[in-house]
Amino acid sequence: MVGNTIRGLVDQGHEVSLVSLNEHKGSGREVTPDPIISKINYREYNIDISISMLGALIKMLGKQSRSVDRYYDPAFERLLIAEVRNNKYDVIQFEGLFVASYLDAVRKNCDAKLIYRAHNIEHQVWERVAMQKHDPIKRWFIRRVANRIKRYELQQLNIFDAVAVFTGQDKNSMDEYGVKNVDIIPVGIDMDHYQPDLSKTEFPSLFFLGSLDWMPNREGIEWFLENFHNDLVNGELRSRFYVAGNDIPDQLFDEYDVMGKIYIQGEVDDALEFVNSKSIMIVPLLSGGGMRVKIVEGMAMQKCIISTTLGAEGMLYTDGVNILIANTREEFFEAIKRCIADEEFCKTIGRNARYMIEDQHDIKDITNRLIAFYERVLDKDVV
């Protein structure tokens, strides 16, 4: 998502810097750098955000603690201060709530307009996760997290000069909270970067792709595996199922990986190559918010996608035309059964999905909207 935004801005002649807070320190994996890196001023800083269970409990029970504290690093703050002092920026964009803890330091050391891009409304994600928990202790604990995040999130939002959200739903929430200068800037996709090759696609095949350090992703895939493991291994759903992404717990490997049936793969070297090689994308999100970037990318790759209503939130889709919506086990089962039995149906859904992304999420159009948003913020008469 950030890469697509940068590509769009660079293509229109804008100078861009990216200071990246990298939480995957010491993963040991060799990652091929995005070619766009060579066209911008790029810095990366590794941070260890791990915390013990005891430490988490102490933090949660403390009166002043916040869940975002673990993303604060004094050395990274000094790096940011040096960056904004040594370079004159018109706009500085903060990507998500967990870097908002650096807002005060940046504000004190530059005159740039400070934009917050809300990937979702963070406390709403946690509230929805809490609603899914049957265990009263877990529900209480997660609601406590949600309440603390909400206080912090609402405190921060109006300190920024403006806020960009992905969806109309998130803008409505921001308006209800009294947040000023909010605009909708959807996810933008560089369509040239997403080139499906159906000759390399396995049919039928189901897949899930997402980082499991994000609680809604983990909750969703665990629900799906619990409900469909037997159908995929011994039942009517005659299709291989592939699960890929970061931070997949060993429990999933131990409990659900079945040779020739269910493949729990973990991280993949090339996400787009992985997506291209499979035919039916499963998005079983039960909580969360914002716009699912993986759905936008999957549609751009002509995937037939089966998603909950919440997973497809914020998208102007047509159920049964460019996506299949399923909100219960029975609806998922029927959608999967139809898809694996009808390859041409899947291809039609996939083609229509790409047409939708070309129409609504092309990076050139979205970049023009983003630049117009920046220009309004920079206009002192408006802000």
Full set of structural domains in the chain with CATH: 2-188+363-378 (3.40.50.2000), 192-360 (3.40.50.2000)
Cα torsion 315, 321, 322, 323 to 10°: value is: 80
Please list the pLDDT of the chain residue by residue as tens digits (383 residues): 788 899 899 999 999 999 988 875 444 555 566 788 888 999 888 887 665 444 444 454 454 444 567 788 899 999 999 999 999 999 999 998 889 999 999 999 999 999 999 988 888 888 888 887 888 888 888 888 888 889 899 989 989 999 999 988 899 999 999 999 999 999 999 999 899 999 999 999 999 999 888 888 989 999 999 999 999 999 889 999 999 998 888 888 889 999 889 999 988 989 999 999 999 999 999 876 655 888 999 999 999 999 999 899 888 999 999 999 999 999 999 999 999 999 999 999 999 999 999 999 999 999 999 999 999 999 854 44
The Cβ of residue 363 has, within 10 Å, a number of other Cβ atoms equal to: 21
Sign of CA dihedral 209, 214, 220, 226: positive
Which two three-digit tokens encode residue 15? 């100078």
- Residues paired with residue 164 on neighbouring β-strands, in sequence order: 117, 183
CA 211 to chain centre: 9
CA–CA distances in Å: residue 253 to residues 208, 258, 259, 263, 306: 14, 9, 11, 8, 23
Q: How far apart are CA 235 and CA 250, in angstroms?
A: 25
> Are the C-beta atoms of residues 216 and 128 closer than 8 Å to each other?
yes
Say if residues 243 and 263 touch (Cβ distance below 8 Å). Answer: yes
Q: Which of 21, 137, 13, 150 is nearest to 73 (CA)?
A: 21
For 102, phi then psi, to 5°, come to: -95, 5
pTM to 2 decimal places:
0.84
